[in-house]
Amino acid sequence: MNTNNSRIKWGFIGCGNIAGKFAHDLALVHKAELTAVASRNKEKAKNFQINHKAKKSYGDYKELLADPDIDIVYIATPHNSHAKWSILAMEQGKHVLCEKPLSINKKEAEEIIAVSKRTGKFFMEALWTRFNPTFIAVKELIEKGELGALKYLFADFTFKSDKPLKSRVLDLSLGGGATLDIGIYPAFLSYSLMGKPEKILASAVFHKITGCDMQSSMIFKYNDAQAVLYSSFETYSGISAKIGGTEGTIRFHGSFHVPEGYTLIKNGTEKNFKIPFKGLGFTHEIEECHNCIRKGQTESKKWSHRNSLDLIGILDQVRAEVGLTYPQEEQD
């Protein structure tokens, strides 16, 4: 077990966009070391190693998994390969932090969790919003009843993609599509503040060539409340969220998946709270990994295996509602 004084040694699988941002934040976390990075391309791995001051680089993911120096592997590849690399990493004795979504469907997620239980290795989906200080403050406020009974939640996540057809964002074989890539955040917000919906309505607009969902709208129906959720690759219309209760309303400041404060509207007055996050916002989930590993836990209590299974199960339901399946699922 890692002691409080030992460094926690990280290895990265995939040297793409998010891996670079994550490396920036890893450097800010006490006792974190970027021990090795792996790319499918040796030169790309070497450049990433130099840029982010990693100790080693590999031109093959499996070579990194075999490195006995590494404690925890961060998986930053397209969604379709998350289950494969998470399972292989744990079977090689590594803890795992895997980018969201942890898999393309609940069936794969169950396989990952089963391996964590069998090997006793820590596994967490990198749902970084759960560890953001504003999100934590808002969740506590709601749990204390400050908003009264929740009745309404709105969240949207949009950006205009200029990615090529073969990119992970648009290519169905890589898990492309708005729901899994960004719709996961509005769904996360509703699930983590209001629980599992009783009923889900959903509708999508599909890419004419690749068939991935370019827009996805969802209504989560609860006993006494509704969440209206939207994601899209077609506009820059916002990444915003608000929550309406019988006694008050909350609006997140900045992009709601990485908020930097909130406004509370209650009794006819508005109060603004600024709550900065550290680095680019990934430091908080990294610290959670360290805490869990040091305590010998296989999962986080804040974003548990059950939470990941529930959320991917909700996204399975959304995809069933709009009629979206991935090629791998058709072979099942």
Task: For the beta carbon of residue 157, count every other beta carbon within 10 angstroms.
Answer: 26
Residues in 113-132 that interact with ligand NAP by CB under 6 A: 126, 128
Q: For the chain, give the longest Cα–Cα distance.
A: 60
For ligand NAP, the binding residue among 78, 176, 197, 244 (CB under 6 A) is: 78
> Contact with ligand NAP (CB under 6 A): which of 8, 9, 14, 83?
14
Using rule CB under 6 A, residue 12 touches ligand NAP: no
Q: CA–CA separation, 58 vs 25, rounded Å? A: 21
User: What is residue 289's three-state secondary structure?
Assistant: helix
Sign, CA torsion 115/117/122/123: positive
Which range in 28-36, 38-46, 188-196, 215-223 contacts ligand NAP by CB under 6 A?
38-46
Q: Is the dihedral of CA 13, 310, 138, 268 positive or negative?
A: positive
CB of 313 to ligand NAP, least distance (A): 18
Q: What is the rounded distance in angstroms from the CA atom of residue 126 to the CA atom of residue 98?
A: 6
Which residue's structure tokens are 């296989």?
298
Q: Which of 94, 168, 207, 290 binds ligand NAP (CB under 6 A)?
A: 168
Least distance from ligand NAP to the Cβ atom of residue 198, Å: 28
Residue 39 as a binder of ligand NAP (CB under 6 A): the answer is yes
Residue window 81-110: x/- pattern of binding to ligand NAP, with contact defined by CB under 6 A: x-----------------xx----------
The two beta strands, 213-221 and 8-13, are unpaired
**Region from 71-79, 87-95, 224-232, 269-277 binding ligand NAP, contact rule CB under 6 A:** 71-79
- The nearer residue to ligand NAP, 34 or 264, going by C-beta atoms, is 34
Name the pairing type of β-strands 150-158 and 249-252: unpaired
Cα–Cα nearest to 298, from 26, 132, 97: 97
> Residue count at the site for ligand NAP (CB under 6 A)?
22
Interacting residues with ligand NAP (CB under 6 A):
14-19, 39-41, 44, 76-79, 81, 99-100, 126, 128, 168, 174, 181
